């Protein structure tokens, strides 16, 4: 008898239900590098360790002091005077025994300057509490090696989060309100024939009210097209007429239509006949991307996209592969199953067609990819309508002259964003303050208020680069920024760390769409804003 233990699936049961076994497998192969392990960094990594990453390396050159115990849960009295990276690393390993961990007792800034190759082998680098100048260097290093970067920072009651990566392609975007494509507007032959094989007029009462609404709609579309030069109903007048046509097929008693659930479903779903069934603009952009000129080192995503393009041009006749899922509808179990089979068969044959193109493409380009499983092709086809490609802006673009100043200007005058935009500018100003004064405002011996004018000068300069004038909250925010004294409050750190880990999981599992810009969290007003700069 074989003993099978599967403790992992039990341990991760609740999250497996969100990102699936393949998502979990991606997490379990991820190697994370954390720079600085204050509360923000430690809490972020803690969340990922609980999720079950493969391993981590913490880089932090500092020793544990009394004040660290006040805001970092992963350190205890016994760690006082010892390496902070070591303390956090050993406790994190205790949280999940399938995660391996290590540490380097060096200042991250020094490592970035001296050993750029250090970062090459990580899946994700999480840089916390680093200043602008250091982040710029790190971004260049990570981009050159295709390593994804997550910048996280908490500063008093404000926190920020930013992803940087040259390219992040997502198959499973998992949109909230996806409407499946049921091809009512253009049924393929088998579906058309199946739908037309039912003669409404000849049916008994029971059959009549159990004919799935999908069949009703396909019949109605056929009927409509025949009388309108093959065109679908357009405009509200024609759409009303289309519904009237459906209604006229309902059974009547003394001229009054009998209530039939399948018909009311057909009415509510009639809009699916004329709603968008083209190729969404995000997907179109992918199909026209420069990366579609494949070479031997093109990624799986681009090879699949190329196969998809050929399918659309050939078998698909302009359509994406069929998803193949049929929503629940009022019908006899038997009819429902038959109809479901029609959809599934077509979806399978579309997958086969895409797969055939893919094999040819891999061969033609002498691709280095050893294999792409049918399951992968299937997943790609099923999600073809929702594919997304995100190219994050370089930090040097955001922090330099190509920053989208107009976005900032607009935010500074928008009622619901002005404060967060102001805080964004001030967070950049404190870094400039540091470059000049070698400390953050409010952390020196003098009272915090005395440094307000110096910070105001830095912030004012930034503001004029942006070409904006101060928002009404300007002076108050300046004063707050000085009072924060660069402190990390645990509750703010915990919140931004939760969000950071969530973005990290999206990047690692390639599921859901990550934030595309810089996120500012403001604990005072419980608000977040995202600025794409």
With respect to another protein, which residue has the nearer C-beta, 28 or 105? Answer: 28
- Buried b / exposed e along 309-329 (16+ C-beta atoms within 10 A): bbbbeebbeebbbbbbebeeb
Angle at 254 between CA 252 and CA 259, to 5 degrees: 35
Q: Are 122 and 33 in contact (CB under 8 A)?
A: yes
**Cα separations (Å) of 241 from 131, 199, 236, 340, 502?**
64, 22, 9, 29, 48
Nearest to 162 by CA among 125, 111, 120: 125
d(CA 398, CA 391): 13
With respect to another protein, which residue has the nearer C-beta, 118 or 521? Answer: 521
With respect to another protein, which residue has the nearer C-beta, 50 or 369? Answer: 50
Q: Are 32 and 88 in contact (CB under 8 A)?
A: no
Measured in whole angstroms, how far is the alpha carbon of residue 9 from the centre of its chain? 24
Q: Collect all residues with Cβ–Cβ distance below 8 Å to 476 and sequence separation of at least 6.
A: none
With respect to another protein, which residue has the nearer C-beta, 71 or 250? Answer: 71
Q: Are 504 and 150 in contact (CB under 8 A)?
A: yes
What's the min distance (Å) between Cβ of 362 and another protein?
28
What's the min distance (Å) between Cβ of 304 and another protein?
23
Numbers of helices and strands, H then E, in the chain: 23, 12
With respect to another protein, which residue has the nearer C-beta, 233 or 514? Answer: 514
Task: State whether the Cα torsion 357-360-366-371 is positive or negative.
Answer: positive
With respect to another protein, which residue has the nearer C-beta, 358 or 411? Answer: 411
With respect to another protein, which residue has the nearer C-beta, 4 or 117? Answer: 4
What's the min distance (Å) between Cβ of 46 and another protein?
6
**Cα separations (Å) of 380 from 156, 301, 391, 529?**
43, 9, 20, 32
**Cα separations (Å) of 25 from 46, 169, 508, 509?**
18, 18, 10, 8
What's the min distance (Å) between Cβ of 422 and another protein?
9
With respect to another protein, which residue has the nearer C-beta, 333 or 370? Answer: 333
Tokens for 464?
A: 């004029």
With respect to another protein, which residue has the nearer C-beta, 435 or 449? Answer: 449
What's the min distance (Å) between Cβ of 201 and another protein?
19
What's the min distance (Å) between Cβ of 313 and another protein?
31
What's the min distance (Å) between Cβ of 156 and another protein?
7
DSSP code at position 211: S
What's the min distance (Å) between Cβ of 495 and another protein?
4
Nearest to 152 by CA among 43, 31, 29: 43
What's the min distance (Å) between Cβ of 331 and another protein?
10
Alpha-carbon torsion, ordered 129, 132, 138, 144, to 10 deg = 140
CA atoms within 13 A on the CB side of 293: 1
| Beta-strand relationship, 168-170 and 158-164 | unpaired
φ and ψ of 410, to 5 deg? -65, -45
What's the min distance (Å) between Cβ of 11 and another protein?
5
What's the min distance (Å) between Cβ of 524 and another protein?
5
Per-state percent for the chain, helix, strand, coil, to nearest 5 = 55, 10, 35
Q: What is the DSSP string of 285-308?
A: HHHTSGGGS--TT--HHHHHHHHH
With respect to another protein, which residue has the nearer C-beta, 63 or 483? Answer: 483
With respect to another protein, which residue has the nearer C-beta, 216 or 221? Answer: 216
What's the min distance (Å) between Cβ of 496 and another protein?
8
Cβ contacts of 19-25, under 8 Å, gap ≥ 24: 19/505, 19/509, 19/511, 23/509, 23/511, 24/52
d(CA 366, CA 360): 10
Q: Are 118 and 27 in contact (CB under 8 A)?
A: no
What's the min distance (Å) between Cβ of 355 and another protein?
22
With respect to another protein, which residue has the nearer C-beta, 318 or 327? Answer: 327
With respect to another protein, which residue has the nearer C-beta, 222 or 472? Answer: 472
What's the min distance (Å) between Cβ of 498 and another protein?
3
With respect to another protein, which residue has the nearer C-beta, 287 or 513? Answer: 513
């Amino acid at each position: 008898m074989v003993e099978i233990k599967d403790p992992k699936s039990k341990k991760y049961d609740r999250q497996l239900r969100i990102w699936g076994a393949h998502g979990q497998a991606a997490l379990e192969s991820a190697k994370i590098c954390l720079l600085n392990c204050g509360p923000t960094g430690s809490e972020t990594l803690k969340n990922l360790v609980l999720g079950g990453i493969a391993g981590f390396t913490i880089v932090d050159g500092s020793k544990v002091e009394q004040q660290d115990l006040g805001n970092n849960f992963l350190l205890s009295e016994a760690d006082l005077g010892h390496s902070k990276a070591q303390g956090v690393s050993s406790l994190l390993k205790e949280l999940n025994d399938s995660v391996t961990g290590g540490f380097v007792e060096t200042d991250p800034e020094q490592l970035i300057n001296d050993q750029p190759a250090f970062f090459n082998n990580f899946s994700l680098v999480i840089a916390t509490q680093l200043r602008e100048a250091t982040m710029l260097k790190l971004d260049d290093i990570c981009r050159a090696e295709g390593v994804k970067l997550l910048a996280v920072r908490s500063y008093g009651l404000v926190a920020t989060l930013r992803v940087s990566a040259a390219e992040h392609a997502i198959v499973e975007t998992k949109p909230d309100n996806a409407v499946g494509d049921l091809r009512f507007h253009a049924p393929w032959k088998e579906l058309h024939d199946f739908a037309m094989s039912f003669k409404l007029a000849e049916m008994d009462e029971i059959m009549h009210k159990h004919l799935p609404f999908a069949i009703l709609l396909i019949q109605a579309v056929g009927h409509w097209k025949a009388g309108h030069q093959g065109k679908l109903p357009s405009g509200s007048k024609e759409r009303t007429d289309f519904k009237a046509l459906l209604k006229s097929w309902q059974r009547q008693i003394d001229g009054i239509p009998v209530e039939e659930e399948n018909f009311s479903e057909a009415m509510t779903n009639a809009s699916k006949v004329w709603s968008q069934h083209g190729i969404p603009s995000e997907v179109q952009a992918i199909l026209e991307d420069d990366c579609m000129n494949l070479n031997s080192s093109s990624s799986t995503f681009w090879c699949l996209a190329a196969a998809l393009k050929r399918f659309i041009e050939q078998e698909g006749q302009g359509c994406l592969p069929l998803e193949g899922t049929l929503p629940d509808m009022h019908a006899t179990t038997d009819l429902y199953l038959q109809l479901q089979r029609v959809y599934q068969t077509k979806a399978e044959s579309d997958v086969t067609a895409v797969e055939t193109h893919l094999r040819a493409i891999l061969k033609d380009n002498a691709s280095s990819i050893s294999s792409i499983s049918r399951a992968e092709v299937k997943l790609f086809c099923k999600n073809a309508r929702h594919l997304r490609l995100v190219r994050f802006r370089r930090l040097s673009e955001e922090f330099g002259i190509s920053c989208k100043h107009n976005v900032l200007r607009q935010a500074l005058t928008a009622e619901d964003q002005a404060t967060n935009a102001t805080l964004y500018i001030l967070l950049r100003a404190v870094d400039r303050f540091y470059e000049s004064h070698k400390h953050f405002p409010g952390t020196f011996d003098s009272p915090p208020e005395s440094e307000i004018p110096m910070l105001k000068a830095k912030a004012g300069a930034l503001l004029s680069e942006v070409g904006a004038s101060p928002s009404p909250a300007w002076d108050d925010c300046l004063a707050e920024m000085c009072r924060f004294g660069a402190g990390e409050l645990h509750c703010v750190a915990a919140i931004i760390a939760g969000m950071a880990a969530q973005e990290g999981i999206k990047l690692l599992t390639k599921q859901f769409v990550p934030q595309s810009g810089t996120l500012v969290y403001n604990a005072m007003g419980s608000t977040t804003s995202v600025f794409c700069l």
